[in-house]
Amino acid sequence: AGLLAFHRQDGDEQWRTTFTIITRTGEDAAGEVHDRMPVFVTPASWSTWLAPEKLEKDQVGDVLDLLDVESRAVASTLRTRPVSRAVNNVRTLDRRDAGLIEAVTRGGGDR
């Protein structure tokens, strides 16, 4: 889940766009990799999440509960696998190298 915002800065006529990825405590396999994970929204809840109306105070809890249920459900389906340590070096990795996400055997396979 994320938030998209448009705003003008100090009388500037040009609109600026910002995007925020909402995170939460890592769960299941995602929690094994990192202590935070993105909040997940499934297609079944897109219309609720993307509704353009401002939420009333009494609706906020329902939306937060929905995000919690959705995130836990998706997190329970995630699986991890060891990959090359090369993914840890953003200065030298080639982002187009599909081999970066290929499974490697534990204790070996580092490039």
Q: What is the 3-state secondary structure (H, E, C) of 9-41?
A: CCCCCCCEEEEEECEEECCHHHHHHCCEEECCC
CB-side neighbour CA atoms (13 Å) of 61: 2
pTM: 0.70
Encode pLDDT of 27-62 as tens digits. Answer: 999 998 899 999 999 999 999 999 888 889 999 999
* The token pair that represents 65 in the structure block: 């509960």
pLDDT tier for residue 9 given thresholds of 50, 70 and 90: confident
Q: How is the chain split into domains, by residue range?
A: 2-79, 81-111
Mean per-residue pLDDT over the chain, rounded? 88
CB-side neighbour CA atoms (13 Å) of 57: 0
**Quick check: 78 and 28 in contact, CB under 8 A?**
yes
Residue 110 has pLDDT above 60, yes or no: no
